[in-house]
Each structure stands twice: as structure tokens, then as C-alpha cells.
Amino acid sequence: MTRHNDQSDRDRFGTIAVGAADTETHPHRDGTNDVVPPIHLSTTFEWASGEDGNEHDYSRESNPTRAALEAQLARLEGGEHGLAFASGMAATSTTMLSLVPPEGHVVSSDTIYSGTEKLLTDHMAGHLDVDIDFVDARDPDNVADAVTAGTDLIWAETPSNPLIRLCDIQAIADIADDHDTPFGVDSTFASPYYQAPLELGADVVVHSTTKYLNGHSDSIGGAVITDDSEVSEQLAFAQRVGLGNMLSPFDCYLVARGIKTLPARMEHHEKNAMEVARFLERHERVASVHYPGLESHPQHELASEQMSGYSGMLSFEFDGTLIELEAFVEGLEVFTPGASLGGVESLVEVPSLMIPDEFSRSEASAEIPETLVRVSVGLEDADDLCEDLRTALP
């Protein structure tokens, strides 16, 4: 069970999100007493000698705004070290490239973000000769069968994009421990509010901050949180020196601002998503709904055990032709057809129509149905969302 499952822990999470849980003096309040930490846009800082020298000297290597966000991200996940990157893919690629050597071995869940899959298949396998095993990680035994003494990284995405499948984090973490192999989890769809992979045994947690953490569709970013100091040092070197893909100060400010309302937003996202999922499950033109909050979801019990809520992401399979499906999308007025997710506005995406280059998957077990619709349920009135779907569905 995650640390957020009882009401007192939820209250504590909200305190951390707002930024009032740090017991140390707020350094940004010295002199001006700012309640909101300022944005430090300076690329360089005046050098000072001696023991009291500057903490920051050059913003690529260290920036006060980024340092504050990274500490906040670590506290949210209950980790020791947080790093903020220029995008979710930058966070993912830095993790993989730092932990997996050329000709290494990765075991990955088969249902993952298409960009992550292309990173693994095209770059790491194609250019670095890394051996990639994609497995249906819904069954931990499949992971155990694929891991060897030479495995460099186990990777899972849960809930997964766009099929909303889950992996048993604690069971896979036990497998990783048995082989002394790092285990990374992309927890973007759940957000830190509804899932705590580090507490369940994962070594590394990755987020696209573009999504729920920022929450307002106005910043691209990524984050990595870990308890492992050695892993943190490897990732920090890559972030600041090897790849130089750190998050800009202004984007750090936007993410920190978004985190302040994360608990309230996630509660609203989940409430709306449950109503939308139940509406879709009853509709005659919907073949199936994939939402872990529904008892019909085959992994509902696992979701209830390792998540404290079900978040705002779902997908459904439309019962009809692609032409009818396209007409449905064009008939929507409250939902916006578009990529990304986790913002305050509701979005729909049909992978086969909108991102045909990313639609196919390398593994048959991860095949995406042609009429699958991914839905990011926003913060609008739930009745309006359901009425929009009712009107647009043929």
C-alpha cells in the first residue's frame, strides 16, 4: 500500500505539495520575505572564495530555481534525490543511457509510451547493440523468466499508455532485488499523488512533468527521483555535463506552481474520470472501457492495492468503423482532439488516426486496437463531459 492511503497522509501530501513541509528556513525569503520562490534566470553567478563560496556558479550545472523544484519532487515521491529534465523523454533517455552500457540488456514491459519504445528499439538496440526483451509484465513471472545475471535495467510503465495496463511494482521489485538489477518505473499516469513506486521497492521513478505535475499544458519537462546516491550521481552527471538536458528556470517555476494544486486537481480528475468511465461502459457503441477504477478492469484489485486512487486517464474501444470514429471525434465540443494529457482540459486521442507513425507496436501482446480512443479527463463539469460524449457518439 502506498503512503497516501489514509486521510492524514493525504493531508501531509498536500502540505508537501504546497511547499510548507520543509523544516529548514526558506532561503528565498531572506531580505524580501517572498512567499513564492523567485525565478532565477541568471546564467552565471558571481564567484566567491573560501568556505562560504557560492552554492551556484553556472545555471546548467546548478540553478536555485531548479534546485528548489528538485528537492520538492524528491519529497513528493519520498525519495532522497530529484532531478528535473528538459522533457519526459529526456528524463527517460538519461536514465536508460546512464544505467545501460552498450551491448547491455534491458527487460521492459511491452506496453509503454511509443517514444520510449522507439528509444529502446531504434537507438539502444539499433545503435548501441543493447539486447531488449519486451514482456507482458502484467504477469511478474514473465519478467522473472526474462531477467538474467547480466540484465542492466528492468523498466515498467504503470498504468501504461494507452492500454491502461498495470504492473505489480512490488513483485517486480522483488525480482530486481534477487538479481541486483535496477528497476525503473514510469509513473506519469498515476502522478506521485496516487502511486509511490519507491515505497513499493522501485529504484528509480520517472515522470513527464508536462502532464499531471505541471497540470496546465504550458510546460514541457521531466523528472527522475531515486533513493540510490550512486544512481543519482550518474544521472546528475548526464543531466548537467554529459547531455546537458536540464529543465529551464522558468519551466521549473511553472512545474513548482502546478505541484501546489496537484492533490486538488488529482481528486477532481479521478472523480470526473470515474463518471466518464461508467457512462462509456453503459453506452452501446463502446465495446470496452479500460479504467482501473472500474471493477470490470481485470487489474482493479491490483490498482486498489498499489494505488491510492485511479487518476484521470482511461481508454475505450469504439464499436464501429474508423469513419464513424472520426465523425465522433469531430462532433466533440468540450473534449479537444489532441496529444498529451494531464492538463485541466479534457483531451481525446485516437492513435490510429492522429499518430499513425507511432500507432504500431513491436510486440503483438501490446497491439493497440484500431478503434482505441485514449481519454485524458479534465476538470470540466462531469455532466458536461458525459453530455458531450453522448451527443458525439453515433
What is the set of active-site residues?
60, 113, 186, 211
Contact 168, 135 (CB under 8 A): no
Contact 186, 157 (CB under 8 A): yes
Residue 276: name the closest of 184, 379, 353 by CA.
379
Q: Is 215 left (phi over 0), alpha (psi -120 to 50) or beta?
A: left
Angle between the 229-237 and 88-99 helix axes, to the nearest 10 degrees? 110
Q: Edge-to-edge strand order for the sheet containing 153-157?
A: 81-85, 222-226, 204-208, 183-186, 153-157, 105-109, 131-135
Alpha carbons 385 and 365: distance in angstroms, whole number: 32
**Continuous segment of H or E residues that includes residue 65:** helix 64-77
Contact 350, 358 (CB under 8 A): no
Asked whether the bond before 292 is cis by omega within 30 degrees of 0, the reply is: no
Torsions phi, psi of 69, nearest 5?
-65, -45
Alpha carbons 115 and 97: distance in angstroms, whole number: 15
CB atoms within 10 A of CB 38: 13
Contact 255, 222 (CB under 8 A): no
The number of CA neighbours under 13 Å toward the Cβ of 112 is 29
* Share in percent of the chain as helix, strand, coil (round to 5): 40, 15, 45
Contact 276, 384 (CB under 8 A): no
Angle between the 262-282 and 382-392 helix axes, to the nearest 10 degrees? 40
Torsions phi, psi of 76, nearest 5?
-60, -40
